[in-house]
Structure 1
Amino acid sequence: MDVQGTVAEGFEPVRDAFVRNFEQRGERGAAVAVYRDGRKVVDLWAGTKDVDGTDPWAVDTAQTVRSATKGVAAAVPLLLHQRGQLDLDAPVGTYWPEFKAAGKERALVRHLLSHRAGVPALDRPLSVEEAVDGRSGALAVAAQPPAWEPGTDHGYHAQTYSWLLGELVRRVTGRSLGRWIAEEIARPLGLDFWVGLPDDEAHRVGRLGPVEEPPAATGGGLKLRPKRSVAEAYRDPDSLTRRAFGAIDPLPDENAPLYRSAELAASNGISTARALARFYAATVGEVDGHRLFAPATLTVARTEESNGPDRVLVVGTRFGLGYMLHGPASPLLAPGSFGHPGRGGSLGFADPESGVALGYVTNGMRKGVTADPRAQALVRAVRSVL
C-alpha cells in the first residue's frame, strides 16, 4: 500500500493501523489526520479518490462525511450562544414562531441539539428536490407533531437535524448555516470543509460507494445486541428508525451535484480528514492562533443531555449538545471525548484531557451507523500511543 503523508515520531502505530485497514478491512480510499495540543502529528492518505475508480487519492481529496457533518454544524448554535446571540434554554419558538405548532411549544433550543425535540421523522417524507430547496424542510418540521413530548426522551434526528438547525441559524443570524460555517469557522481556520459545495471545488471530491463487509478481522467495532437491532428496525417500514432515516424519499444520490451543493447540516458536509481534525482541535485548544470554544462552551458541548435507549438507533446512545459522547454505541478515545461519526465510516472527535483531535474520511461506505471497525482501529492506535 502506497501511503502518502507524514507521521510524527511516536505516532507510527496510527500509520500501521491505517495500512491494515486496506489490507484487512476492505478500505478503498481514505485519509486520517490527528492533532495533539494544536499541532498536527498525523496526516495520511492512500488508495483511490473514487470508490469505484483508479485515480489516486490526492493530498487535497475530500469526501462527503455524512453525519460527521452534525458535529461541525453543532458548533454554530454553540458559538452563537457563546457570543450572546442565542439562549440554549429558550423555546425554539422564541426565534422561530412557526415551530410552536402541533404541541412543540415547550421544545427548547437545547432539545434540537440533544435529539430530544421529538421530530426525528416526518409524516410525509420530502422528495430530494424539496429536501435541498432551503424552504420545504423547515416548513415540514415546523408543522410536524412530535413523536414524544419534547424534552422527555431522545431519538436520533438523522435527517430532520438539517432543517431544525438550518432554520434556527437562519432566523437568528439571517445567514444560512453553510454560509455561517464558511465565513466564521472554515475561513478563519483554513478548513477544506463545506456544507454546500462550491462549483470550483467539485473536482476534488471523490465518489462514495458501498464496500464489502470482510467476513473476519472486522477490527473491534462493538457488537451491540439489543432486543431489536437497528438493522431489523430499519427493515420495518413503520418503525421510527426507518421513518427517521427515510425523511428524504427516495434517498438522494450523494454523488450528484444537486446533493453536494445543498446545505444539509445532518448529512452532506464535505471535508478532508485534515479539516475535521483541525476543527476539533480548535474546539479544545488553540490552533495557529485560533480557538473556537471558550472553556464554558466546551463544558456545555460535552455535558451529557441524553443517555439510554435511543428511540431511533435502538441501542443506548449518549449525547451532549450536538455531539455524541464516548459510550458503547460510539466508542471514542476516552470518557471525556466528544464528536460525531458518519454513517458508513467517517469520524471526527476531540478529547480535551489528552489534547487529541482526530479526523477520518473514507469513500467506502459500510452498513454500520456508528463504531466503524476501520475508524475504531485508528482510535485504538492513537490510544496505544498515548
Structure 2
Amino acid sequence: MDTPISGHCDPRYASVRDAFEGNFLERGEVGAAVCVMVRGEAVVDLVGGWADEARTQLWRRDTLVNFYSVGKAIVALLALQLVDDGSVGLDDPIASVWPEFAAGGKQRATIREALCHRAGVPAIRERLTDDDLWDWQRMADALAATDPWFEPGSRHIYHTNTYGHLVGEIVRRVTGELPGARLRRLTEPLAADVHWGLTSDQQARCADVIWAPSAPLGAIDPFTIEGDAHLPMLGYFNPPGYSSNGVVNTAEWRAAQVPSTNGHGTAVGLARLYGAIIEPHRLLSPALLAEATRVQSEGPCPVLGEDVAFGLGFVPTSGRRPLGTNSRSFGHFGTGGALGFGDPDAGVSFGYVMNHVIPRWQSTRNRTLIDAVYAAL
C-alpha cells in the first residue's frame, strides 16, 4: 500500500521530505507529522500515513497524538514562567507553595530540584489505582505524602511519570489552575495545538498509539518486584496505567491530565511552541532560558540506565542525542521518538510526532529527520 504524504516543503529542504518518506518506506513508520520552522517561517510541514493500525484513517494536519515525555519540558515551561514573573524563585522550597510536600523530610526540596529530577520522588509509595490516576488531587496528595527515595538535592533519578504531577501541582498552587488550563492560556495566542485533558471534540482527532511489539504488557504489580528494579517499576506502574499501559487510546486517558506522559499535540503545535520559546522575551526572558537549558544535573540514572544530563525541564543537546549542530539547542524526546526542540543560534524550531511507538527516545526516524534539516540549512 502506498503511503499518502501531504503538506508543504520548501524546495531547499527537499532532503527532509526524502527522510520523512524514507521513514515510511524503510523504517516502519505508520503515521507521523514533522514541522520545521526557521526564524518563524514554516519551511517543512508534512503529514503522512495512517492514524490507526488498520490503516483506514488518514493522518491529517490536525491529527493529535500522544507525545509522552515531550510534555515534561512543556509543564516545566509553565513553572519557569512563574519564576520569570517573580511569583516563585528557583531555589524556593516546594513546600513554600505546597505545604503538604514537606512530609517525610522533603521540606528543603526546591523548585529547581523538582525541575531537574532531584526532588526525591520518582515514584509514589502508596498503592494506587487507575481511578486515582484520573483524579488530579488524589495523585498530588499521594505524591506529597511519599517519603523521599533519596535526600532531595543529593542526586538525580528520572521522575518518569511523577514529574508532571510534581511540577504541575507547583503551577496549580501558585496560579489556581490545572496545567491543562494554564497551557491553553499560553498556546491559544500561538495557535499551537498542544494539550493535556482533551475534550470530546479533540479526542475525535486523535491517532491511535500503536506499540511495537503490539502485544500489551499485561498486568504488572510493581509491589511484588524486589531489588534495584523496585523503584523504577513503581515509577512506571503505580498507578498501573501511569505509563499508559492498558489505558492508552481510551477516553479516560486522553481526558486526564498526566503532564509528564499524556500530552497530545501536532508537529506544527510543537514547532510553534518552541519557536516562541527561542524568541527572546516572548515566553521566557533570555537569562532564565539560558539557565533552564544549561546542565543542572549530570551523572548516572538507575531508571534510564545511563549517564544523563538535565536542565530545568529541558534536556540540553548532547553527543549521545544531538539536537542539531549548535551547542545551545535544547528540547525533550518522548517514548517512541516524538520530539520538540529549539535551536536559538540557527533560529530552528522542530516538532515531530508519530503513532508507532518504539520504546526509546532517539530513533533512526527522528535522527534521520534532524540530520536532514541541518544538512539543508
TM-score by length of 1: 0.89
- The answer for unaligned runs of 5 or more in structure 1 is 214-233
2:234 is the alignment partner of 1:243: yes
For 1:353, which of 341, 345, 352 is the aligned residue? Answer: 345
Q: Structure 2 CA distance, aligned partners of 1:159 and 1:238?
A: 16
**1:91-170 pair list within 5 angstroms:** 91-170=93-172
Q: Structure 2 CA distance, aligned partners of 1:128 and 1:162?
A: 16
SS in structure 2 opposite 1:123? coil
Partner of 2:316: 325
Work out whether residues 124 and 143 of structure 2, in 8 Å CA contact, stay in contact via their aligned partners in 1: yes
Q: Structure 1 CA distance, aligned partners of 2:24 and 2:163?
A: 33
List structure 1 segments (4+ residues) > 4 angstroms apart after TM superposition.
234-237
2:169 is the alignment partner of 1:178: no
> Structure 2: which amino acid aligns with 1:353?
D
For 1:382, which of 370, 373, 376 is the aligned residue? Answer: 373
Partner of 1:208: 209
Q: Structure 2 CA distance, aligned partners of 1:177 and 1:208?
A: 23
Q: Structure 2 CA distance, aligned partners of 1:115 and 1:41?
A: 35
Q: Structure 2 CA distance, aligned partners of 1:381 and 1:72?
A: 25
> Structure 2: which amino acid aligns with 1:255?
N
- The answer for unaligned runs of 5 or more in structure 2 is 215-224
2:44 is the alignment partner of 1:50: no
Give the CA deviation at 1:90: 0.2
2:336 is the alignment partner of 1:344: yes
- What per-residue deviation string (whole Å, max 9, x for no partner) do you get for residues 275-314 of structure 1? 001100110017xxx9212211211220211111113111
Work out whether residues 26 and 211 of structure 1, in 8 Å CA contact, stay in contact via their aligned partners in 2: no
Partner of 2:217: none
> Structure 2: which amino acid aligns with 1:357?
S
> Structure 2: which amino acid aligns with 1:83?
D
CA distance 1:162–1:12, change in 2 (3 Å): same
Q: Structure 1 CA distance, aligned partners of 2:317 and 2:352?
A: 17
> Structure 1: which amino acid aligns with 2:237?
G
Give the CA deviation at 1:150: 0.6
For 1:262, which of 256, 260, 272 is the aligned residue? Answer: 256
SS in structure 1 opposite 2:352? strand
TM-score by length of 2: 0.91
Give the CA deviation at 1:55: 1.3
Partner of 2:247: 253
- What per-residue deviation string (whole Å, max 9, x for no partner) do you get for residues 299-356 of structure 1? 1220211111113111111111001111255332233211111112211111111111
Q: Structure 2 CA distance, aligned partners of 1:73 and 1:192?
A: 15
Q: Structure 2 CA distance, aligned partners of 1:252 and 1:291?
A: 39
Q: Structure 2 CA distance, aligned partners of 1:212 and 1:358?
A: 27
Give the CA deviation at 1:211: 3.5
For 2:265, which of 249, 271, 276 is the aligned residue? Answer: 271
> Structure 2: which amino acid aligns with 1:266?
S
Partner of 2:218: none
For 2:359, which of 352, 362, 367 is the aligned residue? Answer: 367
Q: Structure 2 CA distance, aligned partners of 1:354 and 1:119?
A: 37
> Structure 1: which amino acid aligns with 2:131?
E
> Structure 1: which amino acid aligns with 2:92?
A
Q: Structure 2 CA distance, aligned partners of 1:236 and 1:205?
A: 39
Partner of 1:195: 196
Give the CA deviation at 1:199: 1.6
Work out whether residues 344 and 364 of structure 1, in 8 Å CA contact, stay in contact via their aligned partners in 2: yes
Partner of 2:31: 29
For 1:312, which of 280, 298, 303 is the aligned residue? Answer: 303
- What per-residue deviation string (whole Å, max 9, x for no partner) do you get for residues 259-282 of structure 1? 101111111111000000110011
Give the CA deviation at 1:241: 2.4
SS in structure 1 opposite 2:89? coil
SS in structure 1 opposite 2:259? coil
- Measured on the aligned residues, the alpha-carbon RMSD in Å equals 1.9
> Structure 2: which amino acid aligns with 1:179?
A
Structure 1 vs Structure 2: percent identity of aligned residues?
39
**1:68-87 pair list within 5 angstroms:** 68-87=70-89
For 1:41, which of 25, 43, 46 is the aligned residue? Answer: 43
Q: Structure 2 CA distance, aligned partners of 1:312 and 1:330?
A: 17
Q: Structure 2 CA distance, aligned partners of 1:328 and 1:99?
A: 36
Q: Structure 1 CA distance, aligned partners of 2:211 and 2:351?
A: 20
CA distance 1:161–1:125, change in 2 (3 Å): farther
Q: Structure 2 CA distance, aligned partners of 1:280 and 1:236?
A: 40
Partner of 1:301: 292
Q: Structure 1 CA distance, aligned partners of 2:248 and 2:374?
A: 33
Q: Structure 2 CA distance, aligned partners of 1:308 and 1:323?
A: 16
SS in structure 1 opposite 2:19? helix
Give the CA deviation at 1:17: 0.6
Work out whether residues 126 and 146 of structure 2, in 8 Å CA contact, stay in contact via their aligned partners in 1: no
Q: Structure 2 CA distance, aligned partners of 1:235 and 1:27?
A: 37
